[in-house]
Structure 1
Amino acid sequence: MSTPPRHYLDFERPIAEIETKLDELSKLSETAEPGAFEAEIDALRSRADRFRRDVYARLDPWQKTQVARHPDRPHFTDFLAGLIEDFVELRGDRVFGDDQAIVAGLGRFRGVPVMVMGHEKGRDTETRLKHNFGMARPEGYRKAVRLMDMAEQFNLPVLTFVDTAGAYPGVGAEERGQGEAIARSTERGLVLGTPMIATITGEGGSGGALALAGANKVLILEHSIYSVISPEAGSSILFRDRGQAAHMARAMRITAQELIGLKIIDRIITEPTGGAHADAEAAIKAVGDVVEEELKALSSLTPDQLRKQRAERFYAIGRSFG
């Protein structure tokens, strides 16, 4: 059985109770005769696994939102470590500075040279402040544009990993042209002459997510979300009550299963039982396998064909909601 997550969500409490008992029994077995508690331990493991499968098979949109934000869910740095070899980070927008909410650089994905970039939220107080909780400022999106320019110059595929609540809403960011920077980054992805694949690994929020998702293929992990606004912010605007967030999550149709039906997403990547945070290694490998398959399918297209495919993809979304 994979190592249980360090953090349990409210709806995971029954699983937490079982796994706590399992830990206690496992410690007792270390001081007892060999095999003394083997049957009890196996029964508890089976019960925990069954409970986890049942719970995750019927998550509602608000519960999926919580899973998408789970602190133990794989971060962009985990995907880098698990999928990208010889990574060389490239920093700065050549205008103002560097924004560590978006980490980017060159590397090899299963032998293929690529430009890779993604949102990094950070894991503890120090890294969360360093990466600004994954909420990029204008210089982050301008860095993305600069590196997409470089990718096209050297004919490199672009892989992006989306996990952000949205762009940083601070005064300084607005003064430095936040909206324009997001628009330019989105536009650059749409006209890129090399293959681009975006994967939503956690929370894909607002324009901050779209800025890295103007791709030929947009993939999403099974329990991730993708939305124009967070459920809490939408609830606050419409109802003047953030407590209606669960209702908004249902109404906004933000889950992977609903998004693929709307053709906003191209493919869902199955997560391990209990979510990506329950077995990060397996989740990262699953993402890598699907990205590799999609990249091979796009590799034979010319720059004009890539642009046409991308344009038709996004025009189709507009027609569906027009």
Structure 2
Amino acid sequence: MRTRQLKPGMVIDQVIKDSTGRNLVVQGSTIDDYIIEALLRLGIMSVYIREGDFDPNDPDAILSPRAAAKVKELRTDDHSKVTLNDSVRKQVSEGVQFIFNNPDSEEFTMATNQIADSLMNAINSNDAMAVDINAIKTSDEYTFKHSVDVATIAMILAKQLQLPTNEIHDIGVSGLLHDIGKTKIPPEILNKPGKLTDDEFEIMKKHSLYGYHMIKDRKDLNNAILMGVLQHHECIDGSGYPLGFDTPKIAPFAKILAIADVYDALVTKRSYKDAYSQRDAVELLMSMTGQLDITVMRAFMNSMILYPVDSIVQLSNGERARVVKNNEHYILRPTVVGVDSGRVYNLGDDLKCASIIII
């Protein structure tokens, strides 16, 4: 259509670039008077206009024919993710609240095992090998939600590490209980909206020790579970707490829980901090390889899906692209296809794409 015939509200069906190749108007944009005037100033006398119904959220609708062919050729499904239906989510939420509010109950261990069983069933029901914590939400209360998130992430990591089924279940129990000691922390410290003082932080650091002492005499909780609760803040370089153990002395469950705990804490909004984006949280975790176990870190990288297949992302070169495959070990750098050009960007393995990132 000739540019002078354009009307505000029409949808442009091409990319408009300037003389240097930068995108000025992206395909699928709704035009207004400002855009029409800009096109005329640039000497662009005609453009393609999309006709008929168009859903801007439909990832197929924005693909050029070349891009659609490439997507069809290269698309590889993501690993199955853990999902909880509404009834299970409700049961899990109520169960976690019970164990935190009734740590001395005779039904404490049974309730914890039942929650771990529910999470295990969710993992096994579709052979899940990945986790999207945004889909797991069981409570608005941080401590309860965090415990379920950590347990679920830890169970998926244990599965990635090919631990036996009974150990996957047990690390779920340990994850559910890892912060039980916070019930002994004064509420004014636990719920403080600002940064803790050094003295307050020293008190907060005791929660893992408190948690261990709360459950250590329960005959129905094994030592691996207890050590996960006690040591989940230990670091492989000896800089953690409460014991300052380095890697040979840190229990396997604790190494797994440490990564699950840090990641979930980063991506969760609290009264005293904003949530990190999943991308920024992963970047920060990757910078902590001196403190976190590298084998577990690799399992984590294979378990988190930051850019699900079929999602549309913006590349640093100005092009929009559709994710067609997630690359093992490179969760920040999937394989994508430019929605206009049909160009394939293997961000994980192709050196020619080294300077291109998802923004």
TM-score of the superposed pair, with normalisation by structure 2: 0.27
Higher strand share: 1
Higher helix share: 1
TM-score of the superposed pair, with normalisation by structure 1: 0.29
Higher alpha-carbon Rg: 2
